[in-house]
Amino acid sequence: MAQIVCVLGNKGGTGKTTLSHMIAHGMGLLGKRVVCVLTDLERERLSKEGRKYLPFDAREADALGQVITTLNHVDEWFGVIDGGGNRSDMDSHLASLADLVILPFRDSHEDIRTVLRDLEWLPRAWALPFQWPTNTWSRDAANKSVEMFMGHYQDRILDPIPALSSTKLLLQDNVPVRLPAALNSACRILAMQVFELLGVDYESLPDDSVPVGTETPAGQDKPASSKAATKKSSRPAPSVIRRGA
């Protein structure tokens, strides 16, 4: 069956949708087959054109059940589910389906207070400092806040993902053919963290000069794999996933 990653959290505005697409994009760049599942009622469906992953609109309960059933019957796929804010019942349901739960939070005391409650409520979840400050002083201050208020959860906090303005490109309906190298790199690093937690092998980093949506040119050497190489399959997406794209 597919492995499912849920991006959840009881507070809105923490970047769940952006993070979901970054994870899916990073997995795609690392040669995996991924569907990014939309459940947030405040968001609109996105086109699959130009993406390394398939977006799936599951805002309706029947569609969500359908895609989960499909993912439970396919191998070597990954589902990244974008949760919405302030939906405790839905979060509980999604968490029960997940192989991994990630709780993004930003540099604010309100976000930290909320993610602390969510970590207690979801004992298998991991917190992720997201859109973290890049300015040295601001980053140090943010890290101190995490140390001060979340010290007893240090073993459940992932490496921060720094603020990157280009992440908004992934939320456009039409994704540019060539995405910034910094964005691709951030997405791959994020996907690697996720794969480490899932115990999944992944191929080494592809060349940033290759446009998104293209394959490595024939004859171009691929870098040596950083973990045991995973063979990519050419099987098409399951029909329910294709229909929801």
pLDDT score at 144: 96
Paired tokens of 166? 């280009």
Task: Give the residues across from 127 on adjacent strands.
Answer: 103, 157
Distances (CA, A) of 243 to 22, 33, 35: 22, 16, 12
pLDDT score at 85: 78
List strands edge to edge, sheet with 33-38.
54-57, 33-38, 77-82, 3-7, 100-105, 126-132, 161-162
pLDDT by 10-residue block (mean), the chain, 245 residues? 96 95 97 95 89 94 93 95 87 94 97 96 96 97 96 95 96 93 96 96 62 38 34 55 63
pLDDT score at 42: 83
pLDDT score at 239: 63
Q: How far apart are CA 23 and CA 9, in angstroms?
A: 16
Q: How far apart are CA 219 and CA 99, in angstroms?
A: 37
Q: What is the DSSP string of 98-126?
A: -SEEEEEE-SSHHHHHHHHHHHHHSTT-E
pLDDT score at 195: 97
- In terms of Cα–Cα distance, which of 209, 203, 205, 212 is closest to 232? 203
- In terms of Cα–Cα distance, which of 21, 22, 67 is closest to 240? 67
Distances (CA, A) of 210 to 1, 8, 52, 100, 215: 31, 32, 12, 30, 8
pLDDT score at 86: 78
Residues 17-56 have pLDDT tens digits of 999 999 999 999 999 999 999 998 888 899 999 999 999 9
Sequence-distant (≥ 6) Cβ neighbours of residue 217 within 8 angstroms: 210
